[in-house]
Every structure is written in C-alpha cells, then in structure tokens.
C-alpha cells in the first residue's frame, strides 16, 4: 500500500496558509485522495490549552517554557501523524517546527537551542514557504490581540524563516491570487504524492 505525503505550509501571519491548506485538502479529496488538515499549535489538547492561554495573554510563561510546550504539542501528535501517513492519508499541515524555531529565536533565544527539542520529529516531504513583505501582509488586516501579531516581531520571524530554509523548500509568492497559489500548491503536492508513495516515512528532523 502507498503511504500518504506530509505536506507543510509555513510562513508569517496573514500570508494565506490556513486558506491554502484547507483548499489543498478539499482539492486532494475531490481528486479521490484521503487528505486531512492538521494545525499546529493544536489547541485542543491539554498542552494546547496552555499554549492558547499564553497566546491569548491569559497566562505568562518564560520564553523557554513556551518553546518547549510548542515542541511537546508536536511530539504528542507524532504517532497519530505517522499512523495517518502509513494508512495512506495525506497530511496538509499548517505550521510546524520551523514556526517553532523562527518565533522563539525572534524573541532572542539561541537558534541552535531552539532546534534541539524537535530533533528526530517526522520530516515533511514537501514544504511550502508562503512569503511576502511584512508591510503587505499587515495591510491585509486581521491582526488581533494575540501575542506575536506585531510588525517588528514578524519582520524578525521572516528573516529567521529564510535562514532556516532548506534547499528543497518551495518558496511561494504569497501576493499572487488565491487561485494562482492554489494551482501551484496542487501541482507540487501531486508530484510529491507520487514520489513518496513507496518510500519509508522520514524521521530525523532537521
């Protein structure tokens, strides 16, 4: 049986990740695949509740502690993710460890320290980085009251994403239209689905 593909969307806030992730799941489903959306942080778990309390500014935590909670929120999902992939279901994942490192390092934590807790996690088969100037994404509005929704921090986050970028990432111009981006993502996803079908799951982030 062919395994599912792990498809990741990364990027700063307001770059269209969630919209594109949902559209990709719907499209793959229409094409006859089994595909599900997975969002990090997953705010529905016990750890996720703590993360949500922190992001909503109901609770303060030091930078190291919240960093480790974000990582734990991925580790607590890893068996479920692997089981989906093994059973042939594709995962479209909205944020992952790259967000984890980029946001924490943007606050001043050491980059190498930030990478350590995610070492050994499942590796994405395909990563899209939705990229646009921060000034342009800020103009899209919709920034709420959550922590990190500030221009200066987002600018540092973007620089860190670009530093973390792996050679096989697909950098997507997030200022293009929703449909243009969707077509690009669909095409690349279909190629990856074919190439990974008979491959072992990839652990060993980074």
What is the binding site for ligand FDM (CB under 6 A)?
A: 13, 40-41, 55, 70, 95, 99-100, 103, 148
Place of tokens 């981006």: 181
Backbone angles phi, psi at 94, to 5 degrees: -100, 100
Residue 158: both structure tokens together: 């973007």
Nearer to ligand FDM, 24 or 55 (CB): 55
- Give dist(CA 101, CA 119) in Å, integer: 12
- Give dist(CA 90, CA 197) in Å, integer: 10
CA-CA-CA-CA dihedral for 178, 165, 126, 23, to nearest 10: -20
Nearer to ligand FDM, 103 or 128 (CB): 103
- Give dist(CA 50, CA 77) in Å, integer: 16
To ligand FDM, the closest distance from the beta carbon of 86 in angstroms equals: 23
To ligand FDM, the closest distance from the beta carbon of 157 in angstroms equals: 8
Residue 5: both structure tokens together: 């593909």
Residue of 7, 2, 17 lying closest to 142 (CA atoms) = 17
To ligand FDM, the closest distance from the beta carbon of 79 in angstroms equals: 18
To ligand FDM, the closest distance from the beta carbon of 19 in angstroms equals: 12
- Give dist(CA 155, CA 57) in Å, integer: 21
Nearer to ligand FDM, 117 or 193 (CB): 117
Nearer to ligand FDM, 99 or 137 (CB): 99
Nearer to ligand FDM, 56 or 197 (CB): 56
Query: Which residue minimizes CB distance to ligand FDM?
Result: 100
- Give dist(CA 38, CA 92) in Å, integer: 6
To ligand FDM, the closest distance from the beta carbon of 26 in angstroms equals: 19
Residue 84: both structure tokens together: 């989906």
Nearer to ligand FDM, 39 or 84 (CB): 39
To ligand FDM, the closest distance from the beta carbon of 116 in angstroms equals: 13
- Give dist(CA 140, CA 154) in Å, integer: 14
């Amino acid at each position: 049986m062919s395994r599912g593909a792990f498809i990741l969307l990364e990027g700063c806030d307001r770059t269209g990740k969630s919209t594109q992730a949902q559209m990709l799941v719907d499209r793959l489903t229409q094409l006859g695949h089994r595909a599900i959306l997975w969002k990090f942080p997953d705010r529905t778990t016990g750890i996720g509740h703590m993360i949500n309390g922190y992001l909503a500014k109901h609770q303060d935590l030091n930078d190291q502690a919240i960093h480790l909670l974000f990582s734990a929120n991925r580790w607590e999902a890893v068996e479920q993710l692997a089981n989906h992939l093994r059973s042939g279901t594709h995962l479209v994942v909205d944020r992952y460890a790259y967000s984890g490192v980029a946001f924490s390092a943007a606050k001043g934590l050491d980059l190498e320290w930030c990478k350590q807790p995610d070492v050994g996690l499942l590796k994405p088969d395909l990563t899209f980085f939705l990229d646009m100037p921060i000034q342009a994404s800020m103009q899209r509005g919709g920034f709420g009251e959550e922590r990190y929704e500030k221009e200066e921090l987002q600018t540092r986050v973007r620089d860190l994403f670009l530093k973390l970028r792996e050679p096989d990432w697909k950098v997507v111009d997030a200022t293009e239209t929703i449909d243009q981006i969707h077509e690009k993502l669909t095409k690349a996803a279909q190629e990856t689905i074919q190439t990974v079908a008979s491959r072992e799951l990839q652990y060993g982030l980074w």
